[in-house]
Amino acid sequence: MLANLRALLGMVADIVRLKGGPENLPTSTALLACVIGVFAVGTSIAAASVATPEQQTWPIQVVVGIVVTLGWFHVALGLAKKRERFIQTMTALFAVRALFTPVVIPLVATFRPYFAAAAAAADSASTTAAAVPAPSGALAALVLFLTIWLLTIEVRIIRAAFEWPIAGALFLVLMEEFAVVLVTGLLLASITG
């Protein structure tokens, strides 16, 4: 059991280091369920730790993100007639997201006070709004680097699954992210509206 876990983590590490792809992972629905569970727990802990009282919709966002991602790629792989690659592709995608998301969410949350102060200053006619120092350039560079690295890994996973050029895989990943945001926004608007 421990040897299998070590081998699995090695495969995921290879994917993160851009040395492997989803085809190296075992085809196991139980493994996919476990990886999604780890992703959901990690994302939930990170989101709950940085959510303000106004942002307590994170549980809905986590569930919608998982469901829309699974649905999006299930349909896309079906249309591409590569449905047999679904489990490995989703296992790789959620494993990578499980590694990155709990790190990226708190980093991005450090920018929240700066953006809130900037919005308040823009809304008020006076220039006496309390100034919040901008986060360091190194922190911004780290967030940008991690975001680009995650996007690169995801595009590589999708490219391997669909056997498409980079542009097509990038488009599919970005449209999936847009679909998650759109469905989440519509769902939250109908709940709160």
CB atoms within 10 A of CB 157: 26
pLDDT over 60 at 85, yes or no: yes
Long-range Cβ contacts of 137-141 (<8 Å, 24+ apart)? 139/107, 139/110, 140/111
121, two tokens: 């200053």
pLDDT digits (tens, 9 = 90+) for 97-138: 999 887 877 777 777 777 666 666 666 654 444 556 666 778
Domain boundaries of the chain, sorted by first residue: 2-192
pTM metric for this prediction: 0.83
Supply 55's token pair.
């942002």
152 conformational bin, left if phi > 0, alpha if psi -120 to 50, beta if neither? alpha
Mean pLDDT for 148-176 is: 96
Express each pLDDT in 18-70 by its tens digit. Answer: 999 999 999 999 999 999 999 999 888 888 877 777 678 889 999 999 999 99
CB-based burial label for 134 (10 Å; 0-12, 13-18, 19+): middle
What is the average pLDDT score of the chain? 87
- Asked whether the predicted pLDDT for residue 96 surpasses 60, the reply is yes
Query: Please, how many CA atoms are within 13 Å of residue 129, restricted to the half-sphere of its CB?
Result: 17
